[in-house]
Chain A
């Protein structure tokens, strides 16, 4: 009992770190918590309008799904390179960490380019935030124009996060020698979170809107 009380006092009595992480890392975790609720609200809002409307399912397996799968592969690989950066930094290899971080940011930039091509293709077909292409309206009569709003809203918000993540990583790469290991780990947390969000966006937006075979 006394030992237990001592252990509690040790953790919560002040003067020590009950979470054993620095305040900046805790701050990033709190930001990630709030941001995960932002994306949850967006995705649940999308599910709400989808369930209450006739919904077009326009994405053909080839090219749309194959293309977005390549984007998923790029983002997952960027997470692996980020882990390698954090691992190198933990072992004191700052130059190697810098190379891995730059590679991560470049993969992020590749994701943005691929996504822009996808957006461009859909805009070319006639998709707008509050308007669907005429062809879709004929194929799915009475379907809602909100398809564009949810698509551009959610993927745009995600792309914005990838974009800010790339800038963040380039800044970290430039200052890697001055930064502590934990600062690099924090940038990794943000990057992995961006990857995590895509793990929900990809099936909900793309795979559940796949063009019917028949």
Chain B
């Protein structure tokens, strides 16, 4: 059996492509900073920031970590399992709102916004 590594160096993607991905990552970071500067309500901030972060993570995994150029077998083994496990972790969230209700904080404090 021939080890595949000696027979093929499957390196796809040009430096130009990687630099453009890097520029996009910087643009998205700048956009996130801009949101921090204008300060939307926290729920909008959370949704938009998480959306931007997922796009950034996808760019890093696809191009920098080269997953886009790997076989579909590998992609389907890695990505869905991680996504499902992370979604399962979110099952705890309703309990955090319940825990907040259990706390006695006296009269509503002036500085509390969220």
Name A's B-contacting residues (CB within 8 A).
11, 15-22, 26, 29, 33, 36-37, 40-41, 44, 47-49, 51-55, 57, 61, 65, 69, 72-73, 76-77, 79-80, 82-84, 86-87, 90-91, 139-142, 180-182, 185, 188-189, 192-193, 195-196, 199-200, 202-204, 206-208, 210, 212-213
The distance in angstroms between the C-alpha atoms of A79 and B60, with both chains bound, is 9
Assuming A20-B71, A76-B22, A207-B49, what are 16 further A-B pairs, CB within 8 angstroms? A20-B4, A20-B73, A65-B37, A76-B25, A76-B29, A84-B15, A87-B11, A87-B15, A142-B112, A181-B5, A185-B66, A189-B66, A195-B64, A208-B49, A210-B36, A212-B113
| A residues in contact with B92, CB < 8 Å | 44, 48
A51 nearest CB across to chain B (Å): 4
Majority secondary structure, B binding face: helix
The distance in angstroms between the C-alpha atoms of A201 and B10, with both chains bound, is 32
The distance in angstroms between the C-alpha atoms of A90 and B96, with both chains bound, is 49
Name B's A-contacting residues (CB within 8 A).
1, 3-5, 9-11, 13, 15, 18-19, 22, 25-26, 29, 32-33, 35-37, 39, 42, 45-46, 49-50, 52-53, 56-57, 60-61, 64-66, 70-71, 73-74, 77-78, 81-82, 85-86, 89-90, 92-93, 95-100, 103, 105-106, 109-114
